[in-house]
């Protein structure tokens, strides 16, 4: 009978110089899983039929204003068909509206409706309260540093 061998330790396989990146991968995996669950809750609070991914679209539209669907698709790194489907769902729910782009009559700009903005702001404020409770023991400088680092990580996604 062959004796079972334990799997190799991470440092044996990857080398000690990669430990920071392995730790980052583990922590981001947990963070992203929790963030997806939280986005689902926020989307349902905004409208019971809203997809979790749509909450991020509303965040972007509120922050950046009206945009073309192609700009949104590029920003999120999704295809035009996926973006069209998500925007159509938001439009049916009355949360966004399309209007002709004054710079190009063939294109449309997508923006929040008044109802969409009101619902979004209510949910965003509730989410901010959750963050404030969860991070109540953190120094404001640490919160700012986390936001800065996440912004830096997200900005890196825009480069090839």
Q: Which residues contact 53 (CB under 8 A, 6 or more apart)?
A: 39, 86
pLDDT of residue 8: 56
How far apart are the C-alpha atoms of 129 and 63, rounded to whole Å? 19
How far apart are the C-alpha atoms of 62 and 26, rounded to whole Å? 31
Instruction: For domain 29-149, give the fold.
Output: Arc Repressor Mutant, subunit A (1.10.10)
- Alpha helices, DSSP H, located in the chain: 10-14, 19-46, 52-64, 69-76, 80-92, 114-134, 140-156
pLDDT of residue 42: 82
17 pLDDT higher than 80: no
36 vs 67, higher pLDDT: 67
Give the confidence band of 15 by pLDDT, cuts at 50, 70, 90: low
SS3 label, residue 53: helix
Contact 38, 127 (CB under 8 A): yes
How far apart are the C-alpha atoms of 128 and 107, rounded to whole Å? 35
> By percentage, how much of the chain surpasses pLDDT 70?
87
SS3 label, residue 108: strand
- For 29-56, what is the mean pLDDT? 84
- For 119-147, what is the mean pLDDT? 92
Q: What is the pLDDT of residues 74-130, one digit of tens each?
A: 999 999 999 999 999 999 999 999 999 998 888 899 999 999 999 999 989 988 998
pLDDT of residue 160: 46
């Amino acid at each position: 009978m062959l004796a079972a061998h334990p799997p190799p330790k991470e440092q044996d396989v990857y080398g000690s110089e990669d430990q920071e990146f392995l730790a980052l991968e583990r922590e981001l995996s947990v963070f992203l899983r929790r963030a997806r669950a939280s986005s689902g809750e926020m989307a349902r609070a905004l409208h019971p039929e809203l997809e979790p991914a749509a909450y991020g679209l509303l965040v972007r539209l509120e922050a950046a204003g009206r945009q073309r669907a192609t700009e949104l698709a590029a920003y999120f790194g999704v295809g035009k068909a996926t973006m069209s489907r998500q925007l159509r769902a938001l439009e049916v729910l009355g949360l966004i509206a399309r209007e002709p782009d004054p710079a190009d009559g063939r294109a449309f700009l997508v923006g929040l409706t008044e109802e969409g903005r009101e619902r979004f702001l209510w949910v965003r404020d509730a989410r901010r309260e959750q963050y404030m409770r969860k991070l109540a023991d953190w120094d404001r400088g640490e919160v700012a540093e986390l936001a800065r680092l996440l912004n830096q990580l997200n900005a890196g996604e825009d480069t090839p």
